[in-house]
Chains A and B, each alone.
Chain A
Amino acid sequence: MAETPPLLEVVDVVKEYGESVRTAALRGVSLTLHAGEMAALIGPSGSGKSTLLHLIGLLDRPTAGSLRLNGQDPTTLSEPALAALRGRSLGFVFQFHHLLPAFTALENVMLPAFGDEGRLSAETRARATALLTAVGLEEKLHARANQLSGGQKQRVAIARALSRNPPLVLADEPTGNLDTVASHEVFELMRRFHRERGVTFLVVTHDPRIADRCDRVIEIVDGRIARDERR
């Protein structure tokens, strides 16, 4: 594993919030993620999991420290270049599905490529249809996002996260809002994409059963990495 350059490299990252009263959400986090890993990020509420995910996701910039994604240093990039890099290298799944309610399942999955390219290509449509079929929603392609069940929505969200074939998918409590059965289904889906397509996942979770089934568990406490175990 040491030979392949890491997919993600986080070195001594610090993130502080607030202007006058500064609260440190991350107090020096270093982390390396290789292609093909499926890692769980766990830790108590307020420990800084979402903050770390936002930084890795290029949605926010660190106060100090450095970050490399696919060998690229995002701190040197302009906002449009950052948006483009984000669109092509990262997929997001959130605790709340965050689908766009005015659009159908298929449209939601097509939107990332559509929005970046400006025009809808046949390839985008074909890929979105295939992904929705892969997550078992071929019947619901044209259903409005807000007419789907919670588990179905989250499956659409996973299809959307994978729609541009990103090397890394960041998931922030993807099952946090689902019951046990749906939660199991959604996680199994991610595992399948990991196994079958080699997608790298970093999954924030509070659910120990989910963490147990990842190849790696990273625990963060009070803005610092407290444990990092591979199994």
Chain B
Amino acid sequence: MRFVLFVAFRYLRDARGQTALILAAVSVGVAVIVFLSALINGLQSSLIDKTLGSQSHITLRVPRETPRPLVDATPERAIARQVQVAPERLRSIDQWPAVVASLARLEGVTAVSPMVTGAGTAVRGEAKRPITVRGIEPELFRRIIDVPRRMVAGRFDPGGGSVAIGSVLAADLGVGLGDTVRIVTAEGVSDVVRISGVFSLGNMGVDKTWVLTSLRHAQSLFALAGGVTGLELKVGDVFEADAVADEAQRRTGLAAESWMRVNAELLVGLSAQSSSKTMIQFFVVVAVALGIASVLIVSVVQKSREIGILRAFGTPARRILAIFLTEGAVLGLVGSFFGSALGTLLARFFETVARNPDGGPKFPVVLDVPLYVSASLLATVVGLAAAVAPALRASRLDPATAIGNG
């Protein structure tokens, strides 16, 4: 048994009331941190999941043609620039299979999916609805957006004259599985398709307009034989999407747009939320540190004579220092265990109380190992730091003065 541990634990055990009180305080502090982190992390990841449930991480398209003047200005002749934006016309990406291959090798990219996207109208009897036709390779696309998991009816196997459509669109048109719909595209092509699946991605705009069909079918609907209008990418770390998009744009010359740019406002909101979480945690940490420090200061004052005795009998000052540092670290560590347990209970309780009408939790909490490890580490380091001043004070006690006269 080590002397330092022996004495530190004995002192903690001996001052049972004080130890219990400060442990309670540390536990509550850690519980707040764990609960808050679990809640906010859960909220943020579910918001991001929802956002990314209906859009790709990065989308690459042919850049818009920059309007060019027909004649250039010379020093003698100024021209009033007349800009006529060319009407949007679907254009294919040059050599797209080669571009797909090069993007797939890009660092951080985990999936690439080609698409043909264009506008059109769906017609069913009297009902007419504007739609977005998306031609995709189902096996590649499902790695970008997990449609098969979001089917509300039928299966996700567009192609061969059948399509999957959004649930709101299906309701608007009054169609169900096996029904047929006429699609008329902006290119003037028209075709009749059968509905083999209905999906709900949880995004109104998407569920109201999307018609997913095979790439080949869309190519014929938009008169783009063999072409694609865009490429969609998935990346490993969603927060790296911006950087990967920039790199993809630089390499391919295509216009790349990441989900982060599309959802800039959401990200600003999330980061504001994160900073307020950090603030709260900071103040909790300060309160916990002050609590531990004050208990230890009182303990050092109460025990100054005992410390003097230990010093008089030859205990080196560094061991006295270590005793109080150990007390601080142990208070932090043990408090973090209780606190983690309490925080977990709180989070689970909150999850069961706040429920959506569908029974799912309104506030999903994320309780994971890194959270517990970081909370324990934080509490231990805070305990140690809080003990520094009291421990220094104890180790610098002059034995003669501490023992006193008599």
Interface residues of chain A, those whose CB is within 8 Å of chain B, are: 50, 54, 57, 59-60, 79-80, 83-84, 86-88, 92, 94-96, 98, 100-103, 111-112, 114-120, 160, 164, 172-173, 176
Q: Total A-B residue pairs with C-beta atoms closer than 8 Å? A: 85
A41 to chain B, nearest CB (A): 14
Interface: B346 (CB within 8 A):
no
Nearest 5 interchain pairs by C-beta: A87-B314, A115-B315, A112-B313, A102-B14, A59-B400
Interface: B399 (CB within 8 A):
yes
B54 to chain A, nearest CB (A): 64
Report the nearest B residue to A80, measured CB to CB.
B316
For B6, what are the chain A residues with a Cβ–Cβ distance below 8 Å? 114, 120
Q: Which of B310, B313, B319 has the most CB of A within 10 A?
A: B313
Those of B351-406 within 8 Å (CB) of chain A:
398-400, 403, 405-406
A111 near B4: Cβ-Cβ < 8 Å: no
**What are 22 pairs between A and B in contact, CB < 8 Å?**
A50-B405, A54-B400, A59-B312, A59-B400, A60-B400, A83-B311, A83-B314, A83-B315, A83-B317, A86-B312, A87-B313, A87-B314, A88-B314, A94-B406, A98-B403, A101-B306, A111-B315, A114-B3, A115-B314, A116-B313, A120-B1, A164-B313
Q: Which of A60, A83, A100, A119 contacts B309 (CB 8 A)?
A: A100
Bound-state Cα–Cα, A180 to B403, Å: 25
Q: In terms of DSSP, what is the predominant structure of the interface of chain B?
A: helix
Interface: B77 (CB within 8 A):
no
Bound-state Cα–Cα, A173 to B403, Å: 14
Contact A111 to B406, CB < 8 A, known contacts A54-B400, A84-B316: no
A103 near B10: Cβ-Cβ < 8 Å: yes
A115 near B400: Cβ-Cβ < 8 Å: no
Contact A59 to B399, CB < 8 A, known contacts A112-B314, A116-B316: yes
Q: Which of B11, B309, B406 contacts A95 (CB 8 A)?
A: B406
For B311, what are the chain A residues with a Cβ–Cβ distance below 8 Å? 83
For A86, what are the chain B residues with a Cβ–Cβ distance below 8 Å? 312-314
B199 to chain A, nearest CB (A): 69
Those of B285-305 within 8 Å (CB) of chain A:
305
Contact A79 to B4, CB < 8 A, known contacts A103-B10, A172-B406: no
